[in-house]
């Protein structure tokens, strides 16, 4: 028995978002609730995720997007023993948020707030993690994403120039993402679905190989 916990980012994930599509495809999926999606307050979000984990059946798989990935990582510091794995898609840059929310660079007081980066883990995570990074994500530079992945011991998929991997960048139904989640879960446990629909790779990015900072999923160094 397991639970797949869907964790949207700022402003939530509407019915056309890939997270909503994946949620409808996985029998054990449920969306974290009790969050004000328009107010990215990391402690409140992490608290809601912890509550969902505490009420979840069996092991918990996290599927988080954008700011939701940051909140998931903070919650994971409190409930890491319950997490079977985390797929973090297009995580937001933690330097762009303080504990009060999104930094407003037009306000001088915002410059004095500490970024939430100091709240996040700076060492290897106690559970498997997979980061999906975009080369032209307006919310996170690839170099920053790779730095965080190295700290966390997380595997990385570089998806190419796919924006923020949201509806705005054309990611509604995302069969490649579901197939990627399946491979990640197969490598680290199980997956409660039947056969997947065929999921050819799109021209926007090749998600077929899962890379870590040092090599591929089978331990070889990529060319």
Q: pLDDT tens-digit profile of 118-132?
A: 999 999 999 999 999
Structure tokens at 113: 């707030």
User: Per-residue pLDDT tens for 133-149?
Assistant: 999 999 999 999 999 99
**Residue tagged 């190419």 (tokens):** 160
Model confidence, pTM: 0.83
* pLDDT digit string, tens, across residues 150-203: 999 999 999 999 999 888 887 889 999 999 999 999 999 765 433 333 333 333
In sequence order, the 6+-apart residues with CB closer than 8 A to the CB of 125 are 73, 76, 80, 86, 152, 153, 154
Report pLDDT for 213. Answer: 33
The percentage of the chain sitting over the pLDDT mark of 90, rounded to a whole number, equals: 71
> Which is more confident, 52 or 1?
52
Are 139 and 90 in contact by the 8 Å Cβ rule? The answer is yes
Residue 41 has pLDDT above 80, yes or no: yes
pLDDT at 218: 27
Cα angle at 68 between 18 and 43, to 5 degrees? 160
CA distance 58 to 98: 33
Q: What confidence tier does 58 reach under pLDDT thresholds 50, 70, 90?
A: very high
Question: How high does pLDDT run on average in the chain?
Answer: 84
At residue 73's C-alpha, the angle toward residues 25 and 196, to 5°, is 20
Does residue 213 contact residue 146 with C-beta atoms inside 8 Å?
yes
- pLDDT of 109 higher than 60: no
* Distance separating alpha carbons of residues 27 and 174, to the nearest angstrom: 17
Q: Tell me, what's the pLDDT at 155?
A: 96
Q: Is the pLDDT of residue 77 over 60?
A: yes
| Beta carbons of 53 and 5 less than 8 angstroms apart | yes
Domains of the chain, each with CATH number or no CATH: 2-188 (3.40.50.1820)
Grouping H, G, I as helix, E, B as strand and the rest as coil, residue 216 is: strand
């Amino acid at each position: 028995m397991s639970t797949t916990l869907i964790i949207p980012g700022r402003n939530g994930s509407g019915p056309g978002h890939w997270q909503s599509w994946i949620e409808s495809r996985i029998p054990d999926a449920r969306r974290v609730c009790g969050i004000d999606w328009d107010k990215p307050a990391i402690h409140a979000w992490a608290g809601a995720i912890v509550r969902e984990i505490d009420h979840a059946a069996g092991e918990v798989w996290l599927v988080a997007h954008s700011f939701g990935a940051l909140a998931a990582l903070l919650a994971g510091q409190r409930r890491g023993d319950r997490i079977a794995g985390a797929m973090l898609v297009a995580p937001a840059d933690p330097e762009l948020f303080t504990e009060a929310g999104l930094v407003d660079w037009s306000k001088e007081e915002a410059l004095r707030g500490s970024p939430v980066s100091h709240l996040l883990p700076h060492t290897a995570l106690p559970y498997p993690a997979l980061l999906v990074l975009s080369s032209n994500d307006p919310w996170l530079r690839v170099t920053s994403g790779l730095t965080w992945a190295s700290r966390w011991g997380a595997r990385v998929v570089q998806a190419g120039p796919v924006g923020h991997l949201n509806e705005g960048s054309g990611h509604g139904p995302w069969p490649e993402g579901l197939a990627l989640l399946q491979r990640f879960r197969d490598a680290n446990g199980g997956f409660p679905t039947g056969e997947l629909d065929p999921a050819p790779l799109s021209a926007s990015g090749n998600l077929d190989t899962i890379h870590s900072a040092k090599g591929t999923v089978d331990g070889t160094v990529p060319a």
